[in-house]
Amino acid sequence: EQLKNPCRPSNLKCAPPIEFMHLLNMTKNITEFQERVNKTRVSSNLDPPEGSIDAIVQAVACKSEIGWRTHSHKLLIFASNDRFHLAGDGRLGGVVIPNDGRCHLDTEGRYTKELEQDYPSVSQMVDIVSKNEVNIIFAVTRNQVSLFKKLSSRIPNSIVELLADSNDNENLNIKQIIEKKYKEMLSEVEIVHNKVQGVDIEIKATSEHCQGKGTNKCKSLSNLGFNGTPITFD
């Protein structure tokens, strides 16, 4: 009965706990998105840690299922109020097979390996996110900021933002957090290269439109981004 309604003994009716479930493909239909969010039922779990790493891996690895485009700016918003499970935690439930980091969703979008594979490791998740060039916003409550800042320090192009609650007027809400990160994505260009043994390559931004010239990064001097302005590197 507790699994059917993990919010017991309160009067709140919750959905059964799940590791990860994909509810809606990428869409430009705002109305459809709003309706799906409004229909989503609140859930809970029986122990404090959440399957956060599992969820991020599935959200990134399931490219066609989610609807990620190949050539696009990818932004993943992760919101949480608790810590996350780590590789090895599955052993407590008898799950010893290492996570393979692949997409495992059924036709309804539900993750299917939660009782067969252990949680992914942080290093595994970082590798998958980095290879797919996904920007992540960790929007978390105050008690989790320190933990997620440590996690974010290992993930390129990720930030941690303090999630506002209903009584908080000082911190950013989700909408403001997304707007802030999206503007940052459009206002910075970084040139990277594959390392070749015996060859030293140095790239420097030289454009007058760059803030902090002389590195392989060019950050726009304008809050509106480059807006089609050509920039140069040497």
Tell whether 91 and 123 lie within a shared domain: yes
Examine the pLDDT at 16 and tell me if it is beyond 90. Answer: no
Specify the pLDDT at position 113: 95
Label residues 8-40 b or e (16+ Cβ within 10 Å = b).
eeeeeebeebebbbbeeeeeeeeeeeeeeeeee
Q: Is 195 helix (H, G, I), strand (E, B) or coil?
A: coil
Average pLDDT over residues 56-68: 95
Question: Nearest Cα to 126, choosing from 66, 97, 95, 86?
Answer: 86
Is the residue at 147 inside a domain? yes
Q: Which residue has the higher pLDDT, 204 or 58?
A: 58
Spatial CB neighbours of 59, under 8 Å, sequence gap ≥ 6: 20, 22, 66, 76
Tell whether 72 and 171 lie within a shared domain: yes
Tell whether 39 and 66 lie within a shared domain: yes
Tell whether 42 and 153 lie within a shared domain: yes
Specify the pLDDT at position 1: 60
Q: Could you tell me if 117 and 99 are in contact, meaning their C-beta atoms sit under 8 angstroms apart?
A: yes
Tell whether 140 and 172 lie within a shared domain: yes
Tell whether 63 and 154 lie within a shared domain: yes
Examine the pLDDT at 9 and tell me if it is beyond 90. Answer: no
Residue 38, amino acid: N
Domain count, the chain: 2
Is the preceding peptide bond at 6 cis, omega within 30 degrees of 0?
no
| C-alpha span between 17 and 117 (Å, rounded) | 17
Tell whether 127 and 35 lie within a shared domain: yes
The CATH number covering residue 100 comes to 3.40.50.410
pTM of the model: 0.79
Banded model confidence at residue 170, pLDDT cuts 50, 70, 90: low
Average pLDDT over residues 125-147: 93
Specify the pLDDT at position 205: 81
Tell whether 101 and 212 lie within a shared domain: no
Q: Could you tell me if 35 and 23 are in contact, meaning their C-beta atoms sit under 8 angstroms apart?
A: no
Specify the pLDDT at position 137: 92
Domain around 194: 189-234
